[in-house]
């Protein structure tokens, strides 16, 4: 317990989390600090490309055959998490089916921000992890949204429509997800990193590796400002969604940890897979839900994802998931 407490304190005092806290404070005291849209776009593009590049190069170094089990496990998580999340929200939480489907899609999808914070946490403690895991965020986005579409079809009672109309609906939303900025940049950069390999990464190492933490700190500052702006939405979300947003991440992390142990990952790799399972989307999933579930209340899914789960994971979750990974690794190996 003391070891876990030390990890939590060290995480809270890391620049990444402190900048996120500064963003929260800026909004709470109503200070006027805004990121110009051009700079904000550049930062998000830079981080997505950097993650994809490193993941692609690491996959090339490790070989596709050696990463197959991990990728299959990540896809499994992307499929299973939104399914039970939906039924918890719908049956236990008594939410409307379209709201339950939208929220489930967010929790089945992933948060690149949380993933980046977790890699920073591991790097700060010099904990090694499999480099190809940088490619998993894009891998997990797509199956989670597909499941959300199936749930959305139930929520909207599309069974009453023709099969042709259902097919057009799915194709429309899947295209929107696959060609969204985050998925395109992650997958595209992975392709570049895979083709160029580790040697190719050496030529851009300064820009995409040495500067990464500084740019990430600025991004976390902006995310703190955005997250604080969603705190008011929690009043509409209600107590159940607040509890859901706190308890569901550790539960999902346990499943992610077990998958990571089965896949033979290191303790750092298991931690990252647990973090991805525990995180909740607020970029790709909202865009998909606007198309598939226009009647779903954005205050609910953004309030839970940004207002509850993101701060919880960044402040408390990441060291907790590392502790879980270390514990399960010792238990099952």
Q: What's residue 270's pLDDT?
A: 97
- pLDDT of 56 > 60? The answer is yes
Assigned token pair, 263: 């896949």
Which residue in 231, 235, 276 sits closest to 253, CA to CA? Answer: 276
* Whether 269 contacts 130, CB under 8 Å: yes
- pLDDT of 236 > 70? The answer is no
Distance CA 22, CA 224 (A): 7
The pTM is what? 0.83
- pLDDT of 170 > 70? The answer is no
Tell me the percentage of the chain whose pLDDT exceeds 70. Answer: 86
Q: What's residue 155's pLDDT?
A: 58
Q: What's residue 265's pLDDT?
A: 96
- pLDDT of 292 > 70? The answer is no
Q: Which residue has the higher pLDDT, 179 or 24?
A: 24
Distance CA 274, CA 28 (A): 31
Question: Which fold is adopted by the domain 2-225+243-293+311-332?
Answer: Na+/H+ antiporter like fold (1.20.1530)
Segment among 50-54, 161-165, 226-230, 245-249 with least mean pLDDT = 161-165
* Whether 250 contacts 233, CB under 8 Å: no
At 318, give phi and psi (nearest 5°): -60, -50
Residue 192 confidence class, pLDDT cut points 50, 70, 90: very high
At 96, give phi and psi (nearest 5°): -60, 150
Of 81-85, 101-105, 157-161, give the range with the top mean pLDDT. Answer: 81-85
Distance CA 24, CA 226 (A): 8
Q: What's residue 41's pLDDT?
A: 87
**Residue-wise pLDDT tens digits, 114-161:** 998 999 899 988 999 998 898 788 778 778 777 876 776 665 555 455
Residue 166 confidence class, pLDDT cut points 50, 70, 90: low
**Residue-wise pLDDT tens digits, 8-28:** 777 778 888 899 889 989 988
- pLDDT of 109 > 90? The answer is no
Q: What's residue 320's pLDDT?
A: 94
Tell me the percentage of the chain whose pLDDT exceeds 90. Answer: 34
């Amino acid at each position: 317990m003391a070891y876990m407490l030390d990890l939590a304190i060290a995480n809270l005092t890391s620049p990444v989390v402190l900048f996120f806290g500064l963003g929260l404070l800026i909004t709470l005291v109503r200070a006027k600090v805004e990121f110009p849209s051009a700079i904000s776009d550049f930062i998000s593009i830079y981080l997505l490309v950097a993650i994809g590049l490193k993941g692609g190069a690491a996959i090339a170094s490790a070989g596709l055959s050696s990463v197959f089990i991990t990728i299959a496990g990540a896809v499994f998580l992307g499929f299973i998490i939104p399914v039970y999340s939906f039924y918890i929200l719908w049956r236990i939480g008594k939410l409307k089916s379209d709201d339950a489907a939208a929220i489930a899609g967010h929790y089945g999808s992933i948060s690149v921000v949380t993933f980046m914070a977790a890699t920073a946490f591991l790097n700060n403690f010099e904990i090694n992890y499999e480099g190809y895991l940088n490619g998993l965020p894009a891998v997990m986005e797509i199956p989670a949204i597909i499941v959300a579409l199936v749930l959305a079809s139930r929520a909207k009672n599309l069974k009453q429509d023709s099969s042709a109309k259902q097919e057009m609906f799915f194709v429309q939303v899947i295209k929107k997800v696959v060609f969204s900025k985050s998925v395109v940049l992650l997958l595209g950069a992975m392709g570049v990193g895979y083709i160029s390999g580790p040697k190719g990464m050496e030529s851009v190492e300064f820009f995409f590796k040495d500067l990464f933490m500084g740019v990430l700190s600025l991004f976390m500052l902006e995310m703190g400002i955005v997250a604080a702006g969603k705190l008011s939405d929690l009043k509409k979300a209600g107590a159940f969604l607040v509890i859901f947003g706190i308890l569901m991440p550790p539960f999902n992390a346990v499943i992610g940890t077990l998958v990571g142990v089965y896949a033979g990952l290191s303790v750092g790799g298991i931690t990252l897979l647990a973090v991805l399972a525990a995180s909740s989307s607020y970029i790709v999933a909202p865009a998909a839900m606007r198309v598939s579930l226009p009647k779903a209340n954005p205050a609910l899914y953004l309030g839970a994802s940004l207002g509850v789960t993101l701060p919880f994971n960044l402040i408390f979750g990441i060291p907790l998931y590392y502790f879980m990974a270390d514990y399960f690794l010792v238990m099952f190996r």
